[in-house]
A = this chain, B = another copy of it.
Amino acid sequence: MSQRKASGDSGRATIRDVAERAGVSVASVSRVLSGNYPVSETLRRRVMKVVRDLDYVTNAHARSLAGGGTPTVAILLNNITGAAFAHVAKGVESAASMRGWLSLVGTTGDDPERELALVNLMRQQGVAAVVLLGGAYDYDEYQLRMARFARSLDAAGSHLVLVGRPPLEGNVPATTVDYDNEGGAYAMASHLLSAGHRRVLVLPGHAELTTAQGRLSAARRAFEAYGLPFDPGLVLHGPYDYEHGYDAVEESLRRGLDFTAVLAGTDVVAAGAMQALLAAGLKVPEDVSIVGYDDIPLASQLTPQLTTVHVPYEEMGRAALRAVADRREGNTGRRRTGDGEHLVLGTHVVVRQSVQPPGRRS
């Protein structure tokens, strides 16, 4: 009943099955497959034949328990269907697979509890790194939480990478890959101002979101630099989605707000805003100009094509993985740098067709 060696087809062939059938030792099979030890040609052939016959693959769990194993990177994001995050994920995944690494994916749905659970789950998996995507809320709590994650992962031989989030303060073992959020927002606002716009409806995003805060303050600085008054009454906060863009513009028009341009926090928000303007019989950009942020494919698929800020999302993903891989390979001795590095990638304005100098409408 409890025969250990059923030798049957039930379940999965083990290295012992292969060894037995090939009439060699387990060690030899392992060596043939790893290829990191001299093995005679006849033995190799004999083993490989059995491997093919049995359709054998090594058990990755056992392998990584015994020391070997393929490194795995965990990608944690709010929502896979967000274009921006998807591009970062693509960058991470492609860079990972290029090195033979695996990618685990988990979605947090913006739930801190779930985020915690996922980080722990990934720690169990012994991943080489955890890449956390997306903006962050609640700055103080966030700092504590992330610092704990970082130390915890670091102690387990893993590493935390924050992408598109604010870097951690203090001596925390985490890497941050960021883009020049304020620089892009400043350039974008300046672009509108230099086109002659003076009254700009700003839809920066959620007030608690660090990304939104940065974009808003950059816009304000641009107004100051032009010596122009910034009207807080033209700022409407809300989520980064199409509906918010639509609703915000619709409501602004209904309330009779006076503006000649819309500075949207996101391309998707811009798309919603554009739709609302068109629905109200206004033309873009003749009556109202619109700009976005992110430069996702949607931006160039709208009519008119959207002037926006290009963010190198995919490159950020690749950079994130590169940082981890370098750290892991360069770890000769104890070159653990302690506190993490901070990469900042550049952003730039992409001029398309959604901006014109303001017209008659006042």
A284 to chain B: closest CB distance in Å? Answer: 9
**Could you tell me if A9 and B301 are in contact, using CB atoms closer than 8 angstroms?**
no
**Could you tell me if A107 and B86 are in contact, using CB atoms closer than 8 angstroms?**
no
- Is A278 interfacial (CB 8 A cutoff)? yes
- Is A94 interfacial (CB 8 A cutoff)? yes
* Set of chain B residues within 8 Å of A93, measured between Cβ atoms: 80, 105-107
Contact of A59 among B79, B124, B272, B298 (CB under 8 A): B124
**Could you tell me if B79 and A90 are in contact, using CB atoms closer than 8 angstroms?**
yes
- Is A97 interfacial (CB 8 A cutoff)? yes
Kindly report which residue of chain B lies nearest to residue A114, judged by CB atoms. Answer: B97
Known: A55-B155, A65-B62. A102 touches B103 (CB 8 A): no
Assembled-state Cα–Cα distance A103/B97 (Å): 16
Contact with B along A85-114 (1 / 0, CB 8 A): 011011001100100001111110000000
Contact of A275 among B60, B81, B155, B303 (CB under 8 A): B303
> Which chain A residues in 103-137 approach chain B with CB under 8 Å?
103-107, 120-121, 123-126
Main SS at interface, chain A: helix
Contact of A302 among B59, B86, B303 (CB under 8 A): B303
* Set of chain B residues within 8 Å of A61, measured between Cβ atoms: 60-62, 64-65, 69, 125-126
Binding site for B on A (CB under 8 A): 9, 11-12, 55, 57-65, 69-70, 75, 79-81, 83, 86-87, 89-90, 93-94, 97, 102-107, 120-121, 123-126, 152, 155-157, 242, 268, 271-272, 274-275, 278, 297-298, 300-303, 305
8 smallest beta-carbon distances between A and B, as pairs: A60-B124, A271-B301, A61-B61, A105-B105, A12-B156, A60-B125, A61-B65, A80-B90
